[in-house]
Amino acid sequence: MNLQAELQKTKEEFSGQIPEEVSQIMQSATETLIQSGIVQTCLKEGDKMPAFSLPNARNEIVSSDKLLKEGPLVINFYRGGWCPYCSLELKAFQDILPEITKLGAQLVAISPNLPDKSLSSIQKDALSFQVLSDLQNKVARQFGLVYTLDAKLQPLYKQMGIDLSEFNGDESYELPLPATYVVDSDGIIKLAFADVDYTKRLEPDKVIDMLNELKDLS
């Protein structure tokens, strides 16, 4: 699966369904986010990953320290179950999960969604890896990924049936940049990807390449 090709297809289909003025507002919001410099300040390769303990979809606490004792960790930050681009990405990671596991690593996906909304994502997309709830984006904030949805976009999202307060349980309109990290068993980030354009994601085969490199070094 070529993830970016699928994302581009979805983007083109969506772009053909919305008015030009809405498209311009979205483009302007992306440009503002670029100018904020957020990508330059989020965690990069060589940084130490902040430890976390987060609830999964069944409200069981999952600890990064415990996960790292078993090997490398792949972390995917996504905006929420309401985002079609995120769903495509999560499905792409599900496809390579056997390879991730074979290489001795584990995969977790993290969003600000409430646990019951995360459970809906698992059921809808048939995911078999841990999907964690980062309420109020506390962990994403430590990674430097958090931003507030542009004020002009907030009512547009509601018009499209996306009520972030319902998904996230707060009125902050804060979201994480979509991002993927590969962390070695010592908690050091070996691969980092984040982009202000939520239609762009890391190709999953890049994750496999990095896990193979870590395997060769072990």
Residues belonging to the active site: 86
CA–CA distance, 20 with 18 (Å, rounded to integer): 7
Instruction: Show the tokens assigned to 132.
Output: 């964690």
Residues 125/95, Cβ–Cβ less than 8 Å? no
Cα first-last separation, the chain: 29
- Return the ∠ at Cα 21 (arms to 19 and 25), rounded to 5°: 120
In which element (H, E) is residue 146 found?
A: strand 146-148
> What is the Cα 108 distance to its own chain's centre?
10
Q: How far apart are CA 76 and CA 109, in angstroms?
A: 5
Structure tokens at 93: 């990671």
Closest to 153 measured CA to CA, from 89, 202, 87, 198: 198
Residue 112, φ and ψ in degrees, nearest 5 = -80, 5
Q: Could you identify the residue written with the tokens 């309109």?
A: 173
